[in-house]
A and B are shown apart, each in its own frame.
Chain A
Amino acid sequence: MTLDDLKPLFEKAHFIRAFEHEIAALSEAGDVPGLVHLCLGAELFEVALCANLEGPGDQVTGSHRSHGLALAMGADPVAVAAEILGRTGGLSEGLGGTQHLLAPEVGFLTSNGIVGGQVPLAAGAALSAKTLKTGGIGVAVMGDGATNQGAVFETMNLAVALKLPLLFVIENNGLGQSTSAHYASGGISPMARARGFGLAASHVEGGDITGCLKTVDRLVSWVRETGSPALVEASVPRLSGHYHGDEQLYRSAADSQPDPLEQFEDTLLRAGATATECHTIKTGAHAAAKAAVTAANQQADTSDEAVARWATRLGGAA
Chain B
Amino acid sequence: MTRMSIRDALNRAHQDLMAADDTIVVIGEDIAGGAGVKGGAELGGVFGVTRGLGAKFGEGRVIDTPISEASFIGMATGAAMTGLKPIVELMFSDFIGVAFDQILNQAAKARFLANGRFDLPLVIRTTMGAGDSSAAMHSQSLYGVLAQIPGLMVACPSTPADAAGLLKAAVGSPDPVVLFEHKGLYGHEGDVADDLPAVPLGKGRLVTEGESATVVALGAMRHAAEAAVTSLEARGISIDLIDPRTIVPLDLTLIANSVKKTGHLVVVDEGTDFGGFADAVISAVARDHFGALKAAPVAVTPPHTPIPYGRAGEHAWLPHADTITAAILALLDMQETA
Contacts and interface: CB of A to CB of B under 8 A. Distances in A.
A128 interface: no
A279 interface: no
A269 interface: no
B34 A316 contact: no
Interface residue tally on A, bucketed by range: 35 or more
A240 B187 CA distance: 27
B38 A301 contact: no
Interface stretch (A48-56, A130-138, A180-188): A180-188
Contacts of B136: 95-96, 100, 113
Nearest to A148: B66
B37 A179 contact: yes
B64 interface: yes
B132 to A, nearest CB: 8
B308 interface: yes
B30 interface: yes
B138 A86 contact: no
B72 to A, nearest CB: 10
A137 to B, nearest CB: 25
Interface string A214-256: 0000000000000000000000000000000000111110110
B64 to A, nearest CB: 6
A287 interface: no
Nearest to A175: B37
B330 interface: no
A180 B29 CA distance: 11
A180 B37 contact: yes
Contacts of A148: 66-68
Nearest to B40: A250
A114 B310 CA distance: 19
A150 B311 contact: no
A33 B159 CA distance: 26
Interface residue tally on B, bucketed by range: 35 or more
B172 interface: no
A86 B309 contact: yes
B305 A114 contact: no
A67 interface: no
B100 to A, nearest CB: 11
B307 to A, nearest CB: 9
Contact of B137 (A100, A181, A185, A308): A100
B313 interface: yes
Contacts of B316: 304, 307-308
B208 interface: no
Interface stretch (B41-49, B197-205, B227-235, B320-328): B41-49
Contacts of B260: none
Kindly name the residue among A33, A97, A179 whose own CB sees the greatest number of chain B CB atoms within 10 A. A179
A250 B36 contact: no
Nearest to A31: B311
A177 interface: yes
A113 B138 contact: yes
A180 B35 contact: yes
Contact of A94 (B36, B39, B134, B310): B310
B305 A310 contact: yes
A150 B33 contact: no
Contacts of A93: 310
Contact of A251 (B29, B34, B46, B309): B34
Interface stretch (B77-85, B91-99, B210-218): B91-99
Contacts of A94: 308-310, 313
Given A94-B310, A307-B317, A178 B70 contact: no
Contacts of A200: none
Given A34-B133, A306-B308, A311-B305, A178 B313 contact: no
Contacts of B38: 252, 254-255
Contacts of A183: 35-37, 64
Given A114-B95, A145-B67, A303-B314, 20 more contacts: A33-B311, A86-B312, A90-B310, A98-B135, A100-B135, A150-B68, A178-B37, A182-B36, A183-B64, A252-B38, A252-B39, A254-B38, A301-B311, A302-B312, A303-B310, A306-B310, A307-B313, A307-B316, A316-B304, A317-B273
Interface of A: 33-35, 86-87, 90, 93-100, 112-117, 145-146, 148-151, 175-186, 248-252, 254-255, 301-304, 306-308, 310-311, 314-317
Interface of B: 29-30, 33-43, 46, 64-68, 70-71, 94-95, 97-98, 132-138, 273-274, 299, 303-306, 308-317
The 6 A-B residue pairs with the shortest CB-CB distance, nearest first, are A316-B304, A303-B310, A183-B36, A252-B39, A113-B137, A97-B309
